[in-house]
Amino acid sequence: MKPRIWLALFVIPLGLIIAAVPQNTSHPYKLTASQLLEEVNTRTQFITPETVADMIVKKDPTLQLIDVRSQGEFEKFSLPGAINIPIADLLSEEHSGIFDQDAKMNVFYSNSTLMANEAWMLTRQLGYENNYVLEGGLNYWFEVILNPQEPASTSPDEEFAKYDFRKGASQALGGGTVSAQTPETNSAAPKPAIKATPKKKKAAGGC
Residue 106 backbone phi and psi in degrees, to 5: -80, 130
Q: Mind listing the pLDDT tens digit for each residue in 64-99? A: 999 999 999 999 999 999 999 999 998 888 888 898
Domains of the chain: 3-141 (3.40.250.10)
**pLDDT > 70? residue 111:** yes
Spatial separation of the C-alpha atoms in residues 41 and 190, rounded to whole Å: 37
Average pLDDT, the chain: 77
**Ramachandran bin of 181, using left for φ above 0, alpha for ψ from -120 to 50, beta for the remaining angles:** beta
Q: Which pLDDT belongs to residue 15?
A: 53
Q: Mind listing the pLDDT tens digit for each residue in 12-38? A: 555 555 444 444 545 566 766 676 777
DSSP class of 129: -
Going along the chain, which residue ranges are E strands?
46-47, 63-67, 83-84, 105-109, 131-134
Q: Which pLDDT belongs to residue 185?
A: 43
Spatial separation of the C-alpha atoms in residues 67 and 85, rounded to whole Å: 6
Spatial separation of the C-alpha atoms in residues 127 and 153, rounded to whole Å: 47
* Banded pLDDT at 188 (limits 50, 70, 90): very low
**pLDDT > 50? residue 186:** no
Q: Which pLDDT belongs to residue 168?
A: 85
- To the question of pTM greater than 0.85 for the whole model, the response is no
**pLDDT > 50? residue 191:** no
Q: Which pLDDT belongs to residue 153?
A: 85
